A and B are shown apart, each in its own frame.
Chain A
Amino acid sequence: MNPTFDIIIVGAGIVGAACAAECARAGLKVLVLDRGPVAGGTTGAGMGHIVVMDDSEAQFALTRYSRRLWHELRPDLPASAEYDQCGTLWVAADEQEMAEVRRKEKYYNQRGVRAEVLDARAVAAAEPNLRRNLAGGLRVVDDGVIYPPCAARYLIESAIAWKAQLRTGADVRALLREGGVVMADGSRFSAGIVVNAAGPWSPALIPGLPVRKRKGHLVITDRYPGQIHHQIIELGYLKSAHSVGTDSVAFNVQCRKTGQILIGSSRQYNEEGTEINHEILERMLQRAFEYMPGLAKLTVTRCWTGHRAATPDKLPLIGPVPDNEKIWLATGHEGLGITTSLATGKLLTDLLLERPTEISAEPYAPARLLQTNESAPEPCLTA
């Protein structure tokens, strides 16, 4: 019997949405399932970075490719997606960090990504509300921010326009080795391929998957238009993002179109719950006030938490699992899923249809982290 769908995507976050849009556009019969609403998990809880990052060559290649795809998509995005090409300003606190600024500037420009070094005076002119004794910074000119829930919704709607089906409130309990899924109520959908795009929850469907929850806190203020002009990140963020095992905070702010300011960021492993951790929230805000003292006077309207899907090597998992070509992954994007969602959708679809990929998909292949046999996905059917 032929399967009902060519492809079932589990997870209607921005990564699942981008995969759905791309697969449906290619003519595949797509079903998207999510136990919650569209963008109700990590996507809805995060900031909206569209950034090029150079943690590794592979990360650089993926973020550069995906940022270009966002630029191409920009004319089609609805106003609600709030795409703002505000640029990223990496701020350096001392000469050691300025050395890193100069290295990054060279690295980016050699690879066709516009970046410019700012001295202390230029940083103060660009962002007058930053504290005065900074060493300088790096402006990545073509970076931007987006409002992730509405961007994800747009991608899902694009997929639906290409005949994809969406079911929300649809709790997938298990993946079938022969292709398909089992729902919480025992019903089944068959498919040629199932893509696990469940982000931090993806290991629930594939025990042993090397994806860990990495909790983050965010704060949003009331409307203060003009307070900041770029998304601003301290260079120490890199140390925070790279640290493994310890809780860390870093100064990172973004401005919504409304003038509201998002203040982040924190990173914690082994924090499964969604409750606010007041100690780390305090540390995070103190860090922000160190860089931008005026933030302490603003009215906060809300704070919340979310979980990133972190892999051991900071790169996502895109492609089939070893030993079962019917089960694919599009997960593990950690803090870069908004940026890298579009490239993930393209790579996944090109791999599925055996088309040439624009960048090498090799660095993101699940086989690099998944041993065969041992952690091959077992369909965890309940009796």
Chain B
Amino acid sequence: MPDRVTLFINGKPISVPVGSIVAAAVARSYPSCFHHSVHQETRSPLCGMGACFECCVTINGSPHRRSCLTLCEEGMEVLTGA
């Protein structure tokens, strides 16, 4: 079993250890923000445990997924800044 997976964050490949959460992978790719609030403010993770919804990103075309609760998978496509 491989010990690393490769996923794509805003189209750019990134390799992370198996078991990494998407929020960690996104943070390592230094995006300007994870998503925008209803008033178009930039937002990034706060609680890290699924309660604050500030870490939401689009995963495999599905918007508003909490990246802190999602494990990285091989070939996963993540978009930030929605």
Contact = CB atoms under 8 A, between A and B. Distances in A.
A224 interface: yes
B64 interface: yes
A111 interface: no
Interface in B50-67: 53, 56, 62-65
> Interface size bucket, A side?
under 10
Given A297-B62, A299-B64, A223 B53 contact: no
A222 B62 contact: no
Interface string A191-228: 00000000000000000000000000000001110000
Nearest to A256: B38
Nearest to A224: B63
A301 interface: yes
A299 B64 CA distance: 7
B62 A223 contact: no
Nearest to A299: B64
A222 B38 contact: no
Nearest to B66: A299
Contacts of B65: 299
A166 B54 CA distance: 37
Contacts, number: 15
Nearest to B39: A258
Nearest to A222: B64
Contacts of A222: 53, 56, 63-64
Interface in A299-348: 299, 301
Main secondary structure of the interface of B (DSSP, over half): strand
B34 to A, nearest CB: 14
Interface string B19-57: 000000000000000000010000000000000010010
Contacts of B64: 222-223, 298-299
B38 A258 contact: yes
Interface residues of B, number: 7
Contacts of B63: 222-224, 299
B80 to A, nearest CB: 15
Contacts of A298: 64
A301 B65 CA distance: 12
A191 to B, nearest CB: 41
Contacts of B62: 297
A297 B62 CA distance: 9
Contacts of B53: 222, 301
A299 B69 CA distance: 14
Nearest to B53: A301
A191 B61 CA distance: 61
A376 B17 CA distance: 75
Contacts of A224: 63
A299 B62 CA distance: 10
A268 B65 CA distance: 33
A259 B53 CA distance: 17
A258 B62 CA distance: 18
Interface string A217-261: 000001110000000000000000000000000000000001000
Contacts of B38: 223, 258
A222 B63 CA distance: 9
A104 B21 CA distance: 54
A165 B27 CA distance: 52
B42 to A, nearest CB: 16
A49 to B, nearest CB: 22
Most buried by B among A223, A258, A298: A223
A13 to B, nearest CB: 25
A150 to B, nearest CB: 14
A222 B56 CA distance: 10
14 contacts: A222-B53, A222-B56, A222-B63, A222-B64, A223-B38, A223-B63, A223-B64, A258-B38, A297-B62, A298-B64, A299-B63, A299-B64, A299-B65, A301-B53
Closest 10 CB pairs of A and B: A222-B64, A299-B64, A258-B38, A301-B53, A224-B63, A223-B38, A297-B62, A222-B63, A223-B64, A222-B56
Interface of A: 222-224, 258, 297-299, 301
